[in-house]
Chain A
Amino acid sequence: MTTKKSPRHHPAPFGRALFELFSSMRFAISLLTVLSIASVIGTVLKQNEPYVNYRFEFGDFWFRIFEPLGLFDVYHTSWFLLLLAFLMLSTSLCIWRHVPGMLRDIRGWREKAGRSSLRLMAHHAEADGEANREHVLAHLTQSGFRFRIREHDRVWQVAAKRGAWQKLGYLFAHAAIVVICIGGLLDGNLPLKLMELAGYKAPETRDMPQGQVPEISRLSASNLSFRGNVTVPEGAAADVVFLNAGKGYFVQELPFAIRLKAFHVDYYTTGQPKRFASDIDILDRQSGKIRQSGTVEVNKPMVVDGVAIYQASFGDGGSPLSFARWDLGNGSAAPLDARSQASSALTIAGQPYTLETGDLRVFNIENLGKTESQQSAVTVNKFEQALSQAASVKGEHNLRNLGPSVQFKLRDATGQAVEYLNYLAPQPLDDHLYLVTGMRREVAQPFTFIRMPLDTEGKVDTFMRVHHALLDPQQYPAIAKATADAAFRDGAFSATNRAQFAEVTRSVLTQFGSGGFPALERFLDGKVPAEQRQTVAQTYLKILQGAAVEAFAQAQRQAGLAPLPMDETNYRFLMDSLVATSNLFDYGPAVYLQPTGFTQVQASGFQLTRSPGKTVVYLGSVLLVMGIFCMFYIREERLWVRLEAGRTLIAMTSNRRNADLDHAFAAHRAALLPESAPGAMPKPKPAATPDGEPT
């Protein structure tokens, strides 16, 4: 179309040349390509992350190059919008350029086509004898043709056509692109961008209560289109949403307020979530009266005043929590009240700390690996096993609910924080119960878990007593003596060095008390030659175990309780206590916060959008589908029948020359020509001709 060389000899005026360029096929194709490539960027680079993350990921140098190019929010940059605008322009000009001709073509009959021009058509046939006129017209009507008859100079010629929608399809499909772009533009943030450029509005970058955000970062409820998020705790209400804007955010006022009455999560038996739903009230902004109530679910938004409310996320909305605060230094406990999603001051061993509580999670459903039947040793052949498992669509899962957990951080005065994940319910392992606490020093790391054994009453108190006894140097002499006495009573050691044994015991206890098993190991590494280390370590371990038994007994006596017999259960308890005590050395501040209760307050995250362009976009979409269908699946056909001097000439053209046209022509020829004369075959179609459709 535009690839043809212009026949003009003088250079085209600039405007004309620009029109030629923008409405050209080549420009359109290039635009589609550039648009595709630009779109790829935004899928490879994660969009709309906080800017610090990008700086961290790419380093300062690339960050300074990427940021002004808008690569962190490609689809809203001015250059991307410009590309879309060009696509719209190109499509509009293409329509402008071709539609008038097309409409003329659709309306025209081409009834004046002469004999010679009909004969030039690729599909034509002639025969002696004139076809029956009534029969011709009946056939045309039956085949869905509209026609016009022309009679002059003893020539009777009928020009017929059908399938005008084929060309209209072109119009629909291309108009659809323009309509969709307009709809998208209506929903885009162009007006806001312009106001930002003009300096009327600027995003807020500071973290502050919403009410204090200045007017320049607030958008009124009359804003035509927006898409923002807000999190509402149960029982609370919100009348604004927050719009992401690059480095900061805008506060968008709503024409109403949303109050979250309750948030629900339902689960399948397999532990996967089944339903997220928020029961909400819509309140009048001024009076606070309830205008309407309803439930918002995923896939079931609620529309109020043209604003659609979606269930977007959920979380903890600040639940009252109670802890038992165990002081790991002296083994005492005191109650502590806190609230999730909040921070409070805490003094630990005389040092100021901040307790930053995170999420309360009421359900922790974990897949604990394969079930016993799946691990059975009978199926040796791996392939057979895979085959037998592939036979059933129902999987076996070993799921367990670990119960509620609280995540929190303890931050010291220098800003260093240790993060904890503590479970409320005792967790069973081989028929014994433990309290589980997880600890990590960096967010990127997984939690390291410590299991504290529970006594027969299901309490952690006994462990805490043992823990304290093992760490209190004042008790070591007594423990060491008792350990030595017990060892020599059993006759396990020769009687000569009882005092020396007590001294070694005290030393082992001191090492263990200064850092657990790792300290003991360091001590061995430093003092004992490598070849003897194994044997000495064994002995030390035995001595430590013996000392632990005595420490346990002593702790019980001090608490006014009878020492427990060293049966299998209690011995295991003691060994678990040793391990837990050792692990607690690397636990950060010497405090264990045992969750003891909570009142769950959930929060629901809503997305609110107002998009007036939606209907326009859908209209465009319908046009697009109709257009594509008409373009591909309706064939525009024209058929001429010419009766002249005892001969019949028929000719046919179509928008697309292919096998289908050959079939159709053969059928018409058989029906219309009096006696098909052999030899009047359609000419073979010329190779690689354009199908004759405009852009």
Chain B
Amino acid sequence: MTTLPAKRPVGAIAFTALVLVAAMISFSRYRGAMDYYEQGILFACAAGLIWFGRFWPAMQRFLPLCGAIALAAIELYDRNLARGGSNFFLKYLLTSQSLVMWMCVLFFLATLMYWIGLLRRSASSLSIASGLTWAAATASLSSSLVRWYEGYLIGPDVGHIPVSNLYEVFVLFCLITALMYLYYEARFAARSMGAFVLLVISAAVGFILWYSFDRGAHEIQPLIPALQSWWMKIHVPANFVGYGAFAIAAMLGLAQLLVSRGILASRLPSYDTLGEVSYKAIAIGFLFFTIATILGAMWAADAWGGYWSWDPKETWALIVWLNYAAWLHVRLVKGWRGNVLAWWSVIGLLVTTFAFLGVNMFLSGLHSYGGL
């Protein structure tokens, strides 16, 4: 997937047909369990997926593949969670936890290959690294889908979308950051950026492993009443588009700073390209972060009695927002470019990380679901 594949109408038509058929099957089988809102959401999702497939044709293969893996796992489970430990394919490949482990391994390998490719100027290594990242992203999305199903196998009242605690959102973070990166990589035909972006994903993967092995965080917990809301389904993913984008921007900022000092300058994309991708990432991240914060406010109005309570998490979200608003202003209005902005986006990631993790660890408040 070096460049965006040229528009292939056959693929697009097949994908559209597949999504529509899947939506129709879901509708006919489960319409009884859905109210009008949910039926509307189902078709809106189908339309959204079709649009997304057109916007980024690589998704026309990626999404059906992940769906197929998830369906295979569901088929093998045969409504019995215990089969996860006995069935060979499930145990080593298709349970959500094996998929997460595969994801971790693949991301580490991809990081390694990106660095080999970068240091040895090897296009083939970079190409393999890109493929590994795609595979890791596939494992990541599939694991979330399978985990979603596994929750319902534990208990019909336990199952929920896997975005409810720190472990689940870290997997989501890896997925979103990887996908956004892959999009920019293809768009700007600049694979060596991966060496930097994959570092931040690897850090997240390291956290996932520690969190799972040491703290047993991978267990599916039922939702506490405050989280039982459909706002969660959109608020959390929207936030992570923001976090992922800010992370990419910061890592590219780091690359920019190195290039400006002549380090790796001949191996990385040009200084300006790094700056432009960085800007694009922050722009999309800012848009989604704004949406996520607004959705959060609407949820808070349902759950906490007010759309804004100056809760530490809310306040830090505001600080992050103000930070990137200022960043965008000086770039777009003042026309700033260069190292100051690069430093700023690196520091911005520190602020964002504090808002994401630090608040849960050090400050108390209403938003204590993601505690360590």
Real complex partners, A and B? yes
Contact of A611 among B229, B306, B329 (CB under 8 A): B306
Q: Which residue of B lies closest to A385 (CB)?
A: B213
CA distance A28 to B329 in the complex (A): 10
B287 lies within 8 A of chain A by Cβ: yes
Do residues B283 and A632 form an inter-chain contact, with CB atoms below 8 A? yes
A312 lies within 8 A of chain B by Cβ: yes
A417 lies within 8 A of chain B by Cβ: no
CB distance from A514 to the nearest CB of B (A): 46
* Proximity bits, A467-505, B CB within 8 Å = 1, else 0: 000000000000000000000000000000000000000
Do residues A629 and B287 form an inter-chain contact, with CB atoms below 8 A? yes
CA distance A392 to B98 in the complex (A): 9
Do residues A390 and B304 form an inter-chain contact, with CB atoms below 8 A? no
B267 lies within 8 A of chain A by Cβ: no
A114 lies within 8 A of chain B by Cβ: no
Q: Which residue of A lies closest to B225 (CB)?
A: A298
Do residues B220 and A394 form an inter-chain contact, with CB atoms below 8 A? yes
- Which residues from A are CB-within-8-Å of B301? 614
B87 lies within 8 A of chain A by Cβ: no
CA distance A25 to B334 in the complex (A): 8
B121 lies within 8 A of chain A by Cβ: no
Contact of A299 among B155, B221, B226, B297 (CB under 8 A): B226
Q: Which residue of B lies closest to A659 (CB)?
A: B276
Interface residues of B in 278-332 (CB under 8 A from A): 283-284, 286-287, 290-291, 294, 297-298, 301-308, 310, 312, 315-316, 318-319, 322-323, 325-326, 329-330, 332
A607 lies within 8 A of chain B by Cβ: yes
CB distance from A375 to the nearest CB of B (A): 15
Contact of B222 among A3, A268, A617 (CB under 8 A): A268
B192 lies within 8 A of chain A by Cβ: no
* Proximity bits, A489-530, B CB within 8 Å = 1, else 0: 000000000000000000000000000000000000000000
Do residues B286 and A628 form an inter-chain contact, with CB atoms below 8 A? yes
Stretch of B9-17, B89-97, B241-249, B255-263 that contacts chain A = B89-97
Do residues B154 and A272 form an inter-chain contact, with CB atoms below 8 A? no
- Which residues from B are CB-within-8-Å of A103? none
A364 lies within 8 A of chain B by Cβ: no
Do residues A268 and B155 form an inter-chain contact, with CB atoms below 8 A? yes
Stretch of A37-45, A316-324, A443-451, A635-643 that contacts chain B = A37-45
Contact of B287 among A273, A618, A621, A628 (CB under 8 A): A628
A344 lies within 8 A of chain B by Cβ: no
A415 lies within 8 A of chain B by Cβ: no
Do residues A609 and B306 form an inter-chain contact, with CB atoms below 8 A? yes
B157 lies within 8 A of chain A by Cβ: yes
* Proximity bits, A617-630, B CB within 8 Å = 1, else 0: 11001001100110
B338 lies within 8 A of chain A by Cβ: yes
Interface residues of A in 263-303 (CB under 8 A from B): 268-270, 272-276, 297-301
- Which residues from A are CB-within-8-Å of B158? 268
Do residues B216 and A625 form an inter-chain contact, with CB atoms below 8 A? no
Contact (A272, B222) CB under 8 Å given A29-B330, A688-B337:
yes
B84 lies within 8 A of chain A by Cβ: yes
A377 lies within 8 A of chain B by Cβ: no
A32 lies within 8 A of chain B by Cβ: yes
Contact (A297, B225) CB under 8 Å given A25-B333, A390-B218, A694-B333:
yes
CA distance A28 to B325 in the complex (A): 11
Contact (A394, B298) CB under 8 Å given A272-B221, A690-B334:
no
A689 lies within 8 A of chain B by Cβ: yes
A236 lies within 8 A of chain B by Cβ: no
Contact of A35 among B97, B322, B364 (CB under 8 A): B322
Do residues B286 and A689 form an inter-chain contact, with CB atoms below 8 A? no
CB distance from A287 to the nearest CB of B (A): 28
Do residues B322 and A36 form an inter-chain contact, with CB atoms below 8 A? yes
CA distance A29 to B225 in the complex (A): 40
* Proximity bits, A4-43, B CB within 8 Å = 1, else 0: 0000000000000000000001001100110110011011
A65 lies within 8 A of chain B by Cβ: no
Do residues A391 and B85 form an inter-chain contact, with CB atoms below 8 A? yes
Interface residues of B in 79-131 (CB under 8 A from A): 81, 84-85, 91, 95-98, 101
* Proximity bits, A228-265, B CB within 8 Å = 1, else 0: 00000000000000000000000000000000000000
- Which residues from B are CB-within-8-Å of A29? 326, 329-330
- Which residues from B are CB-within-8-Å of A389? 216
A308 lies within 8 A of chain B by Cβ: yes
Do residues A36 and B305 form an inter-chain contact, with CB atoms below 8 A? no
CA distance A276 to B228 in the complex (A): 11
Do residues B333 and A32 form an inter-chain contact, with CB atoms below 8 A? no
- Which residues from A are CB-within-8-Å of B150? 393-394
Do residues B287 and A32 form an inter-chain contact, with CB atoms below 8 A? no
- Which residues from A are CB-within-8-Å of B315? 39-40, 42-43
Do residues A691 and B335 form an inter-chain contact, with CB atoms below 8 A? yes
Q: Which residue of B lies closest to A397 (CB)?
A: B219
Q: Which residue of A lies closest to B97 (CB)?
A: A391
- Which residues from B are CB-within-8-Å of A3? 334
CB distance from B369 to the nearest CB of A (A): 12
Do residues A394 and B302 form an inter-chain contact, with CB atoms below 8 A? no
Interface centre among B151, B303, B307, B338 (most CB of A within 10 A): B307
Contact of A624 among B96, B290, B312 (CB under 8 A): B290
Contact (A393, B147) CB under 8 Å given A32-B325, A386-B213, A691-B335:
yes
A378 lies within 8 A of chain B by Cβ: no
A1 lies within 8 A of chain B by Cβ: yes
A459 lies within 8 A of chain B by Cβ: no
A222 lies within 8 A of chain B by Cβ: no
Do residues A621 and B294 form an inter-chain contact, with CB atoms below 8 A? yes
CB distance from A337 to the nearest CB of B (A): 34
- Which residues from B are CB-within-8-Å of A275? 225, 228
CB distance from A650 to the nearest CB of B (A): 25
- Which residues from B are CB-within-8-Å of A35? 322
Q: Which residue of A lies closest to B219 (CB)?
A: A395
CB distance from B316 to the nearest CB of A (A): 6
B363 lies within 8 A of chain A by Cβ: yes
Do residues B318 and A690 form an inter-chain contact, with CB atoms below 8 A? no
Q: Which residue of A lies closest to B299 (CB)?
A: A299
CB distance from B101 to the nearest CB of A (A): 8
A212 lies within 8 A of chain B by Cβ: no
CA distance A74 to B337 in the complex (A): 35
A400 lies within 8 A of chain B by Cβ: no
- Which residues from B are CB-within-8-Å of A269? 155
CA distance A337 to B218 in the complex (A): 48
- Which residues from B are CB-within-8-Å of A391? 84-85, 91, 95, 97-98
Q: Which residue of B lies closest to A265 (CB)?
A: B225
Contact (A47, B155) CB under 8 Å given A298-B226, A690-B335, A694-B333:
no
Do residues B326 and A299 form an inter-chain contact, with CB atoms below 8 A? no
CB distance from A130 to the nearest CB of B (A): 33
Do residues B157 and A625 form an inter-chain contact, with CB atoms below 8 A? no
B26 lies within 8 A of chain A by Cβ: no
A184 lies within 8 A of chain B by Cβ: yes
Contact of A394 among B219, B329, B330 (CB under 8 A): B219
CB distance from B211 to the nearest CB of A (A): 10
Interface residues of B in 228-274 (CB under 8 A from A): 228-229
CA distance A35 to B310 in the complex (A): 13
Sample (19) of A-B pairs whose CB atoms are under 8 Å apart:
A29-B329, A32-B325, A44-B363, A46-B364, A268-B157, A272-B224, A275-B225, A298-B303, A312-B305, A389-B216, A393-B97, A393-B219, A394-B150, A395-B219, A617-B307, A617-B308, A618-B298, A624-B294, A632-B284
Q: Lowest 3 A-B CB distances belong to which pairs?
A: A690-B335, A395-B219, A298-B225
Could you tell me which B residues sit within 8 Å of A by CB distance?
81, 84-85, 91, 95-98, 101, 147, 150-151, 154-155, 157-158, 212-214, 216, 218-222, 224-226, 228-229, 276, 283-284, 286-287, 290-291, 294, 297-298, 301-308, 310, 312, 315-316, 318-319, 322-323, 325-326, 329-330, 332-335, 337-338, 359, 363-365
**16 extra interface residue pairs, beta carbon distance < 8 Å, beyond A44-B363, A389-B216, A391-B95:** A25-B329, A36-B318, A36-B323, A43-B359, A43-B363, A184-B308, A301-B302, A308-B305, A386-B213, A387-B213, A391-B85, A393-B151, A393-B154, A395-B219, A625-B287, A695-B329
